[in-house]
Amino acid sequence: MLTNHLASAIEFDKLDWKLGKALKNMIIKVAKVEGSNFKAFNAVSTYDVAIEEMVAAITDFKKFTTWLEGAEEVTVIKKIDQHSTACYLVHHVPWPYRNRDAVFVQTVERMSELKVIIKVNLLNSLVPEKEGLVRMTHLEGIWTLENVSDNKTKVTYQMHIDPAGEVPHSLVNLMLTGIPKNTLNKLHKVDFRKYSDVTPPLI
């Protein structure tokens, strides 16, 4: 089990979500977060894959940079336990701003036979800050995976990030829907067949 300092502080389900973008295969909502100038996002899309395959893909850290929007580098730092992994992330930020980095812990929890959640939280103390990069001060989120029928999984991707540094919050909030849109669209292009024989870290 993770200690309390990794527990999610935001109750995403209680935020006042407003429609940000409606696409053919996705709905994206945004919400204000108390105490922060940066908004959170909530994106929902459905995939023609089994829930176990989706878990396997989202925990395949070597492939993160192929579908996670903005991810330039993802390196596993340590395996905390059977269900939790700490990773170092470098995230691209457009010029003239500097790239961001962070250490996040991803934890898989099976809630029922039909539902799995994957929590994401910061644990920056595992890696010293690096010259030329701005360390993110806040990153937390939840992937909620729900089996809606045979080989069909509904994915809800919720995240709140404070990129820190000099990036204007108004600019981040304006471009916010692009992060989940591009991430979930690229996730649709993943070849999930390679995960059919993989045993994901389910509780």
Domains of the chain, by residue range, sit at 4-195
pLDDT tens, 64-105?
Answer: 999 999 999 999 999 999 999 999 999 999 888 999 999 999
In the prediction, which pLDDT does 174 show? 83
Q: What angle do CA 134, 164, 77 make, to 5 degrees?
A: 50
**Amino acid (one-letter) located at 6:** L
Average pLDDT over residues 162-170: 84
pLDDT at residue 3 tops 50: no
**What pTM does this model have?**
0.92
User: For residues 105 and 2, what is the distance between their CA atoms, to the nearest angstrom?
Assistant: 10
Amino acid residing at 60 = D
Residues facing residue 108 across a β-bridge: 118
CB atoms within 10 A of CB 91: 22
Check if the beta carbon of residue 122 is closer than 8 Å to that of residue 129: no
- Whether residue 150 is predicted with pLDDT greater than 90 in this model: the reply is no
Q: Residue 1: pLDDT above 50?
A: no
What pLDDT was estimated at residue 202?
Answer: 65
Q: What is the pLDDT of residue 39?
A: 96
pLDDT in tens, 20-49: 999 999 999 999 999 999 999 999 999 999
The topology (CATH level 3) of 4-195 is: Alpha-D-Glucose-1,6-Bisphosphate; Chain A, domain 4 (3.30.530)
Q: Is the pLDDT of residue 2 over 80?
A: no
Residue burial 35-51, b: 16+ Cβ < 10 Å; e: rest: eeebbbbbbbbebebbb
Instruction: Determine whether 195 is exposed, middle or buried from the number of CB atoms within 10 Å of its CB (0-12, 13-18, 19+).
Output: buried
Confidence of residue 203 (pLDDT cuts 50, 70, 90): low
pLDDT over 50 at 142, yes or no: yes
Torsion of CA 1, 79, 154, 156, to 10 degrees: 70
The per-residue pLDDT for 67 is 97
174-188 pLDDT, tens digit per residue, is 889 999 999 999 999
Cα distances from 77 to residues 11, 64, 88, 103, 155, in angstroms, run 27, 14, 6, 8, 26
CA dist., res. 132 & res. 130, Å (int): 6
The whole-chain average pLDDT of the chain stands at 91
Buried b / exposed e across 151-183, counting CB within 10 Å, b at 16+?
eebbbbbbbbbbbeeebeeeebbeebbebbbeb
Task: Tell me the C-alpha distance between 40 and 30, whole Å.
Answer: 6
CA distances from 176 to 17, 42, 141 (A): 14, 10, 14
